Amino acid sequence: MNKSILITGANSGLGKDTARQLGLIKETEKIYLACRNETKAKAAKADLEKTTGRSIFEIIIMDVSNPDSVRLAVAELKEPIDALIMNAGGMGGNSPMEVTSDGVTSLFAANLLGHVVLMDELLKEKKLNKVALYAGSEGARGVEDMGMNRPALKTSSEDEFAKVIDGTFFDEKTDPMEAYGYIKYIAALWMSSEARKNPNLRLITMSPGFTSGTAVMNDLPFAKRVMFKYIMLPIVAPLKGLVHKLEKGAKRFVDGISDDSFKSGVFYASKPKRLTGQVIDQSTIFPDLNNSSYQDNANGAIHRFIK
Ligand SMILES: NC(=O)c1ccc[n+]([C@@H]2O[C@H](COP(=O)([O-])OP(=O)(O)OC[C@H]3O[C@@H](n4cnc5c(N)ncnc54)[C@H](OP(=O)(O)O)[C@@H]3O)[C@@H](O)[C@H]2O)c1
């Protein structure tokens, strides 16, 4: 079992419920809540202590869009952690395609840039003992029922991945949800690349599945937000069996770090055309996920933006 776990974006939704479920496991001795907002983090900590009856939660201030904030947080971490859950992210705020001072879109910064810095720093400082999990998404393989196409890259070269990262791959009409799928795809490739480089660790990508009860839709533009929050999520998706409750989505993360049968380097998500239920190795659907050149190209492209 993992005694100490760090979870990014642990103040709400999947991150917070993962912290709750892990807190109820008696072997868990410490859970670091890595959050960007201190007030929200304190409220989450108080609630988690109440619901689990345990005082094992510690706040770490970390904005995963900001590499310096991540580096500072890792430097302040006194002891190595057994497990890392890279959960923070979502739709990238009000201007997801705006480019940050690191030269990446805000959407990329929130979902991936800081997490790559986080893993790099933990590995460099020898502060990660066993397992890391990245919160992936079925969006990485396209979701027909939500009008999300599968990422369509022409060469999967470093240059092409870099264009996705800095936003020049897209035009002004691109739906940020589509760009989100590309970013989660690049993330899965990056994790597989790192898994080959770090055979002593278990590094997996796990989609939580389409999960209700989180704030992930709040950043969507008005029309899309209304469609997803008030039509798709509560009416259409349940009718089609395409959505599950928060506990089930978070349980995928708990299982991912706790169960060694989830193999390093693999991206796990729902079966084809599903967003809930059993998870399977996504490379059985899309063999390109297993292409080690694509994996390393994605990793190389990301590192072009890390100073
Ligand atoms: N819900 C789903 O159906 C679904 C499906 C597939 C994948 N996912 C993935 O699951 C993860 C969690 O999403 P969720 O549904 O639980 O959404 P959520 O309720 O909005 O939680 C997202 C968390 O990430 C934090 N966060 C966002 N940007 C951050 C940053 N720059 N630095 C630090 N923390 C940051 C948020 O903090 P604030 O409260 O400060 O904003 C919040 O705690 C995301 O990576 C999402 O892409 C979700």
Q: Give the model confidence (pLDDT) of 78-105 as tens digits.
A: 999 999 999 999 988 889 999 999 999 9
Q: For residues 191 and 39, give the distance between their C-alpha atoms in angstroms, rounded to a whole number.
A: 31
Which ligand 1 atom lies nearest to the CA of residue 92? 28
Q: 92: CA distance to ligand 1 center in Å?
A: 9
**Helix or strand holding residue 86 (H, E):** strand 81-86
Q: 215: CA distance to ligand 1 center in Å?
A: 7
Strand 267-270, strand 81-86: pairing: unpaired
Report the nearest-CA residue for atom 42 of ligand 1: 9
Distance between alpha carbon 194 and the CA centroid of its chain, in Å?
15
Which ligand 1 atom lies nearest to the CA of residue 243? 3
3-state DSSP assignment of residue 294: helix
- Angle 176-197/292-303 helices, nearest 10 degrees? 110
3-state DSSP assignment of residue 148: strand
In this prediction the pTM is 0.97
Structurally, the chain folds into a number of domains equal to: 1
Top mutation candidate among 7, 18, 36 for ligand 1, by most atoms within 8 Å of CB:
36
Q: 100: CA distance to ligand 1 center in Å?
A: 19
Q: What is the pLDDT of residue 217?
A: 80
Q: 155: CA distance to ligand 1 center in Å?
A: 30
Is residue 230 scored above 90 in pLDDT? no
> Ligand 1: residues whose CB is within 6 Å?
8-9, 11-15, 35-37, 40, 63-65, 87-90, 110-111, 135, 137, 207-208, 210-211, 214-216
Which ligand 1 atom lies nearest to the CA of residue 180? 47
Q: 41: CA distance to ligand 1 center in Å?
A: 13
Q: 12: CA distance to ligand 1 center in Å?
A: 7
- In our burial notation (b when 16+ CB lie closer than 10 A, e otherwise), range 89-126 reads bbbbeeebbebbebbbbbbbbbbbbbbbbbbbbbeeee
Is residue 237 scored above 90 in pLDDT? no
Give me the mean pLDDT over the 204-233 stretch: 87
Which ligand 1 atom lies nearest to the CA of residue 88? 24
Q: What is the pLDDT of residues 173-199, one digit of tens each?
A: 888 889 999 999 999 999 999 999 999
Burial of 229 (0-12, 13-18, 19+ CB in 10 A): middle
Window from 31-35, 72-76, 113-117, 240-244 with minimum mean pLDDT: 240-244
The pair of structure tokens assigned to 153 is: 């890259």
Q: Determine the structural domain holding residue 70 and report its residue range.
A: 4-303
**Residue 271's CATH number:** 3.40.50.720
Give residue 143's pLDDT band: very low, low, confident or very high (50, 70, 90): confident
Is residue 145 scored above 80 in pLDDT? no
Is residue 147 scored above 80 in pLDDT? no
